[in-house]
Amino acid sequence: MKKRWMGLDFGSKTTGVAVSDELGITAQGLETITRKSASKLRQTLARINEIVQEYGIDKIILGLPKNMNNTLGERVQATYEFRDLLMKRTGLPVELWDERLTTVESLRILKEAGIRREHRKERVDWMAAALILQSYMDAHPVPDEDE
């Protein structure tokens, strides 16, 4: 059986969620979890844990907000803290993965797909999560069990 992974784009008020397909080849955007303030993470963690159980996730890939010059961005500390909470809540390994330009690329894809501007905001986070996860999967292919 192939591994199933989750990608997360963690922001101050939203968290985009994506999951890999059952073959471990492609990432699909799933949903955006919204919270009222940056410090209110309990419901976000609970929803992520529900998705972990529903999809049989065994690893989480969390976007790491790096700057274009490869230094760590201002949200890095919050991302580290969120990673620790995720590991504690789900019991799963959480790997950090460079998320540079995923939001810009998400907006471009949505625009090219003809998604109206007022509807892009609700899709951009899960699209960015899918790009983070797909990038990770491309760099870490799961070997076939026959190999």
pLDDT-derived band at 144 (thresholds 50, 70, 90) equals: low
Which ranges constitute the DSSP H helices of the chain?
42-55, 76-90, 102-112, 117-139
Q: 104-110, long-range: CB within 8 Å, 24+ apart, which pairs?
A: 105/131, 106/131
Q: For residues 94 and 77, what is the distance between their CA atoms, to the nearest angstrom? A: 15
Summarised one tens digit per residue, pLDDT across range 59-118 is 999 999 877 787 777 788 999 999 999 999 999 999 999 887 677 777 787 788 888 877
With tokens 């580290």, the residue in question is 80
Q: For residues 136 and 49, what is the distance between their CA atoms, to the nearest angstrom? A: 21
What is the rounded average pLDDT of the residues 125-130? 89
Domains of the chain: residue spans and CATH: 5-139 (3.30.420.140)
CA distances to 7, 54, 71, 139 from 126, in Å = 9, 17, 24, 20
Distance of CA 74 to the CA centre of its chain: 18
